[in-house]
Structures are given as structure tokens and as C-alpha cells.
């Protein structure tokens, strides 16, 4: 039977994780009614992993991918969501998120803290196919929402075609079957003037 302390630490972590629902991202929902929050984003990526795994260039450990996607943004509870196209905010992102990882995962019992922090680190380092798949999904989902919402954060923040293509580049190698769709979306929004050419 689990110790009272272990259960207490696990429940404290889960309640802390609930705060991710309050972290707003720049990306709107597909219907453009409001911004999505980071918890919604994480859920959407887990679902994307289940649906899009067949497009992977090589096999993956789906459980590992789902674990990464479930925890990859928990650091935003402390560090906030760093907008992908904000160069200034990107400068200290790793430092802010590293400190957040220590605190947030440190709420768990040591064995679980080590396991989930390792998954977060794996996602950040991108050395495994599991991490690259998770990362490709993390790049694809905002692209889909921005397209569905008529330009979303691209339009609002004057994002360029080159910035989007650089951001979504991990999709090309990891999910090559989806790359033509990505290129088509980027071209369409460039042609409409909703993605700046330069």
C-alpha cells in the first residue's frame, strides 16, 4: 500500500499541474473564439500522436511519446509560454524552464520526479525518434490552428513565411508524408498576404 506521503506528493503535483490550464498561448482555437491554453495544447498533441503515428518515418515508443507530450509544457506554470517567434524571450527560455522543471517535477516522489523530468529533458534534447516525433507534433498543431483561424498568431504578430518554415522544419524529416500539406498551408497564407513574404 502506498505511503501517505507518496499519495500526498502525487496529489500535490496533480493540483499544481492544473495551473497549466491558466497559461495562455498566442495560438487561437481553430474557431478563433479565444486563445488556447497550454493544457489544451498538451492534450491535443497526445491525441495527434495517437492519430498520426502511422506517418512516422521510423517506429516509435508511443507511450514514451505520450509521456513527453503530457509533461513537455508543465514548466510553463513557472516560466510562462514563450512565443515561438519572440527572439528576445527565447534568449533565456532554457534557463527559466530548467529552473521550473526542478521545482515542478520536484513535487513528485523521487522515482516519478526522475522519470518525468527525464521525459521532459528527452523532449528538449531531441536525440530520440520519440522526442523528434513529439517535437514535430508540437510544431504541426499551432500551424493547423493558425490556418484554421484565418492566420491567428501569424497575422497578429506579423510573422513571415521564412519564420514559419524554419519553425516547422522538424516535420519534414520526421513526418515526411505530411510535409506537402505543411508547404501547401504556408503557400496559401503567403499568397493571401496573411504571412509576410519578408
Q: How does pLDDT run across 13-41, given as a tens digit for each residue?
A: 999 999 999 999 999 999 999 999 999 99
Residues spanned by the domain of 131: 4-191
Residue 196 counted as domain residue: no
pLDDT at 57: 85
| Bridge partner list, 28 | 35
Residue 54 counted as domain residue: yes
Residue 34 counted as domain residue: yes
Q: pLDDT digit string (tens) for 119-166? A: 999 999 999 999 999 999 999 999 999 999 999 999 999 999 999 999
Supply the CATH number for residue 155's domain.
1.10.3210.10
Is the pLDDT confidence value at 1 over 80?
Answer: no
Residue 171 counted as domain residue: yes
Residue 197 counted as domain residue: no
pLDDT at 151: 95
Amino acid at each position: 500500500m502506498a505511503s501517505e506521503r507518496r499519495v500526498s506528493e502525487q496529489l500535490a503535483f496533480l493540483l499544481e499541474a492544473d495551473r497549466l490550464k491558466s497559461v495562455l498561448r498566442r495560438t487561437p482555437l481553430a474557431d478563433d473564439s479565444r486563445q488556447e491554453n497550454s493544457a489544451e495544447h498538451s492534450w491535443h498533441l497526445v491525441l495527434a500522436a495517437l492519430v498520426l503515428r502511422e506517418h512516422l518515418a521510423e517506429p516509435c515508443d508511443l507511450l514514451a511519446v505520450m509521456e513527453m507530450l503530457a509533461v513537455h509544457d508543465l514548466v510553463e506554470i513557472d516560466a510562462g509560454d514563450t512565443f515561438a517567434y519572440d527572439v528576445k524571450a527565447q534568449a533565456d527560455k532554457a534557463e527559466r524552464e530548467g529552473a521550473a522543471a526542478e521545482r515542478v517535477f520536484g513535487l513528485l516522489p523521487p522515482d516519478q520526479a526522475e522519470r518525468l523530468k527525464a521525459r521532459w529533458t528527452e523532449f528538449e534534447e531531441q536525440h530520440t525518434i520519440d522526442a523528434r516525433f513529439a517535437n514535430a507534433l508540437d510544431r504541426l498543431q499551432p500551424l493547423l490552428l493558425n490556418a484554421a483561424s484565418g492566420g491567428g498568431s501569424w497575422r497578429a504578430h506579423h510573422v513571415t513565411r521564412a519564420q514559419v518554415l524554419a519553425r516547422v522544419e522538424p516535420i519534414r524529416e520526421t513526418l515526411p508524408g505530411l510535409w506537402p500539406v505543411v508547404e501547401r498551408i504556408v503557400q496559401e497564407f503567403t499568397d493571401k498576404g496573411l504571412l509576410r513574404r519578408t
